[in-house]
Amino acid sequence: MNTKIQHTRIDAIYASVPEQEVFTADYPLFSPEEARSFTKNTGIHARRVAPDGVTCSDLCALAAEQLLLDMEIREEIDLLVFVSQSPDYFLPATAILLQERLGLKTDCMAFDVNLGCSGYVYGLQIVGQFIQSGAVRKALLLVGDKSTISTAFQDKSTYPLFGDAGTATLLSFSENATPWFVNTGSDGSGKESIIIEGGHSRNPYGTYSEELLDFNGNQHSRSHLHLDGLSVFNFALSHVPLSIEQALFLAQKSITEIDFLVLHQANGLITKSLARKLSLPMEKCLSSIEQFGNTSSASIPLTLAFHGSELGSRQNLSLMLSGFGVGFSWASVFFTIDFPTTKLLTYA
């Protein structure tokens, strides 16, 4: 689907990461050679891991609370959207809990969106459509995941890959905002490539064995994340360039007019391969995976916040954001903006 979003401005992007830093080289199931190979292929040197009892909503709440204090717009928020695959409960919706926790007005609409790696761009599109309709003047988009809770320690394909993060993006109506050009898509035939089979309606807890199963030397149960890395790699290389090209075609722009590309931080090899396929130099690809790992839906806004100190004064930046993954699903957006206010916080 191609969509044009108008009159919507990104005012601020705040991100929050846990204090605990875990290093790839310290993962005890890796030999020194395996650790070096993993770091070389994924780009991951370290990641942040939230402790027990700290949820994705806690990380998002810290980012959102600081943003609301800095911008002094708490009473003006009309919409709160929480995009995550790490909700606090099956029900109620985590967005409603965050509305109360952040002290937002009770006529603020709040709802959850269950999406992973493509979720930030999907969230921008959803919120943008509310804003351009005139129904919403200011909105909070809270995006993040606590992916580490879903990985098995014995699974070398997932456990050292994922980190935790939460983000808050402030969007507002602006008559003079430059338009956004969005391409989104989905293909459910890839559902088994990134999946947690157990624990919900299809396979409720208590109806299956929790024993660890062996998958090519990696062990996890049906309650843990299963990741087919080769399938995801092939999907990304076949779908993401087309999505980016569709967004650029809608904007009547070329790849050379992009100042920076911000991809979902799946792994370093995918980023390098996509840049090569797009004929885009790596210096135009913003990255945060070395420091934070794969942070699922949070990876794009976290990357923007991470680079905020170097880009904060830039105006009329042409940005392409592209998320892709679980589902399969994908979403790309191109826009030109003055770089928003950013802040990167540590949750202690």
For residue 161, give the amino acid letter. L
Contact 17, 344 (CB under 8 A): yes
Instruction: Considering the candidates 218, 239, 294, 307, report the single residue annotated as catalytic.
Output: 294
The Cα 84–Cα 271 span in angstroms is 22
Instruction: Considering the candidates 117, 220, 267, 307, report the single residue annotated as catalytic.
Output: 117
Active site residue 117: yes
How many DSSP H helices and E strands does the chain contain?
9, 17
Alpha-helical segments (H) within 170-298: 229-251, 268-278, 289-292
Alpha-helical segments (H) within 48-139: 56-71, 94-101, 119-133
Q: Report helix, strand or coil for 267.
A: coil
> Which of these, 14, 164, 186, 188, lies nearest to 86 by C-alpha position?
164
Active site residue 307: no
Contact 171, 112 (CB under 8 A): no
Question: Secondary structure of 271-339 in the HEC alphabet?
Answer: HHHHHHHHCCCHHHECCCHHHHCECHHHHHHHHHHHCHHHHCCCCCEEEEEEEEECCCEEEEEEEEECC
> Which of these, 313, 252, 30, lies nearest to 156 by C-alpha position?
30
Active site residue 294: yes
Contact 348, 19 (CB under 8 A): yes
Residue 336 in tokens: 């030109």
Exposure string over 230-259, b if 16+ CB within 10 A, otherwise e: eebbebbeebbbebbebbbebbebeeeebe
Residue 241 in tokens: 């360039």
The Cα 234–Cα 194 span in angstroms is 13
For residue 237, give the amino acid letter. L
Instruction: Considering the candidates 264, 267, 285, 307, report the single residue annotated as catalytic.
Output: 264
The catalytic site residues sit at: 117, 264, 294
